[in-house]
Amino acid sequence: MSSLDITTVRTAVQAITQTYNKRPADLMQMLWRVQEQYSYIPNIAIETLAGELNLTYAHVAGVAGFYSFFHNSPRGQYDILFSDNIIEHWQGKPELMNYLLKKLGVELNRPRADGRVTVGNTSCIGMSDQGPAILVNGHALTRLSLSRIDEMANLIEQQIPLTDWPREWFTIATNIQQTGLLLGHPFVSGESLKTALAQGPDVSLTQIGQAGLRGCGGAGFKTEVKWKLCRNTPSDQRFVICNADEGEPGTFKDRVLLQKYADIVFEGMTLCAYIIGAKRGFLYLRGEYRFLLPELQATLAKRRQANLLGPNILGNPNLEFDIEIHLGAGAYICGAETALIESLEGKRGTACRKAPPYPVTQGYLNQPTVVNNVETFALAARIITYGADRFAELGTTQSKGTKLLSISGDCDKPGIYEFPFGVTVREVLAACGAREVQAVQNAGPAGICVSPAEFDRKLCFEDLNTTGSFMIFNQQRDLLEMARNFAQFFVHETCGFCTPCRVGTGLVQGLIEKIAQGNGSPAELEELTELSHLIKTTSHCGLGLTATNFVQDTLKKFPFIYQKHFKLNTSGLTPTFNLEASLEAARRLTQRNDSEAHLG
């Protein structure tokens, strides 16, 4: 941008690097600071960061270009991003966004000429229980309506600072509908730590095992085994990482835990540090939850003041631990622990590390590292407080305790529900007031599309595993629209590391769009089947492994959603190619629109 003074920018960026002691691993946090100052990351900033951190220009530019929340050109004074979840599509998001674009006289993803505003899309921002929702300069606004769009547009035109907008617009409901062992009891800071210190790390770890706690992020690895492997790996330093990169569309349970129960999450992290012998921990917070930062930092400060973080925790000279918050920048792949660690080290968030070795032996900075989900750490603290038996008496043989579900879509009471493992899909639907249900998308687009014939299946590791997302679609919904939205999501979120996922997700999207536009045939369904299998079996990481689950499930359980879009012409053939439409690009290039430039 010509108005930027190169010397001023360089000086400002140098000061930012000094704040972080020029640690290359903190590159992403530095990029955030730069963007907060200029609304984008100028080229001179990239050059300066490279020089100050002793990194190559290509490395810094590669990191800045990888994450969707980092920009290489100026954004508007008001940067508005609409959540593009399928639930919010059906809540009216497309109409509201088009209305705002027209109201403000701005094009999608292009700053208005006066630099006042930018409007764009982003992946699900964890608000589908109270959508349609947007981010304005990183702050979440929910329950949008035409009247609120009108009010917002007026404030933008008057250049009213965001701090002077109505405070109630920024109120994010927790919508806790049903509680249990985790959510239904008060928590006193330090209570589980005091118990752990009194009984020792070995007994505490044994309790975690006896309770049967497993990771709540989806894989379900036994928590006791993970912590023990990390503790037993010889090293001078170990790390604890809380994975709060809750990017699976339709999921918002971790957002609620961080909103209302952050103290118990941080206590669980500290408990883990005590057991494995770690002194440093990180909360990896997804960029969409940036608005939670002030409260989370305040909670950490209170814990330090209470001697629950820092040196000599609770007077124990052998317990020293502190937590830093690392802000992500819009990359679904960073929900995978190896990609998260790459990101935490100031790199592109690709799942390029191939296990073994696993993070418990070579994780952050190649040191033993425990990576667990927000919910897992919170449950660990509860187990130490209440004892293993109280937790283990709930659930099933292989799935102990309770599970949080983020329920959204076509139901009377969307929100957070805590159920014992073993609850059936039918029981969940009854609890949230869902009727005439056509399908449930369990565990987000990467999960399982559940048909009515499966509603008696149980949510547990031995039957229907779940990450906590539970999207409900009634009989009036066109599930092909769901498939289109999911296909677009994976095209946007593939990290690009391996060809099957990078190219294959685009091909899947193209085939689904072809069918939706009425140009498909049974041949496209065969191609979708073959392509889905190819992506699933040859991709490098878990993203590619699950990126076509929704295709395989809908083809098997709901084939009619594709077939009803097939069209037969008068010859009895199914058109699979629109020649007239394909000539549009040529017409634009030659600036012709006369009759001879069209067919027939």
pLDDT > 70 in the chain, percent: 96
Tokens of 326: 């690392």
Q: Rounded CA gap, 45 and 72, in Å?
A: 11
pLDDT digits (tens, 9 = 90+) for 33-83: 999 999 999 999 999 999 999 999 999 999 999 999 999 999 999 999 999
User: What's the Cα-to-Cα distance from 480 to each of 442, 484, 490, rounded to whole Å?
Assistant: 17, 6, 15
In 516-570, DSSP assigns E strands to: none
Residue 1 has pLDDT above 50, yes or no: no
Q: Mean per-residue pLDDT for 206-233?
A: 96
Weakest-pLDDT range from 127-131, 308-312, 316-320: 316-320
CB 478 within 8 A of CB 416: no
CA 200 centroid distance within chain = 36
Enumerate residues 6+ apart whose C-beta is below 8 A from 115: 74, 76, 77
Which residues, 6 or more positions from 566, have their beta carbon under 8 angstroms from its beta carbon? 515, 518, 520, 521, 522, 574
Angstrom distance (rounded) from CA 349 to CA 27: 12
Q: Residues 418-434: pLDDT tens digits?
A: 999 999 999 999 999 99
Distance (Å, whole) CA 423 – CA 393 = 14
Indicate the average pLDDT of the chain.
95
pLDDT score, position 574: 61
The answer for residues whose C-beta is within 8 angstroms of residue 161's C-beta and 6 or more apart is: none
| Distance of alpha carbon 104 from alpha carbon 52, whole angstroms | 41
Sign of the C-alpha dihedral computed for residues 25, 26, 29 and 31 taken in this order: negative
Residue 144 to residue 100: CA distance in whole angstroms = 11
Q: Which residues contact 142 (CB under 8 A, 6 or more apart)?
A: 127, 130, 131, 132, 133, 171, 172, 173
The band of 570, judged by pLDDT with boundaries at 50, 70 and 90, is: low
Q: What is the rounded CA–CA span in Å between residue 495 and residue 351?
A: 8
Question: Which tens digits make up the pLDDT trace of 493-506?
Answer: 999 889 999 999 99
What letters, b where the CB count within 10 A reaches 16 and e where it falls short, cover 123-157? bbbbbbbbbbbbbbbbebbbebeeebbeebbebbe
Task: Give the pLDDT band (50/70/90) at residue 592.
Answer: confident
Give the tens place of pLDDT for each residue, 538-552: 999 999 999 999 999
**Cβ–Cβ under 8 Å, residues 394 and 420:** yes
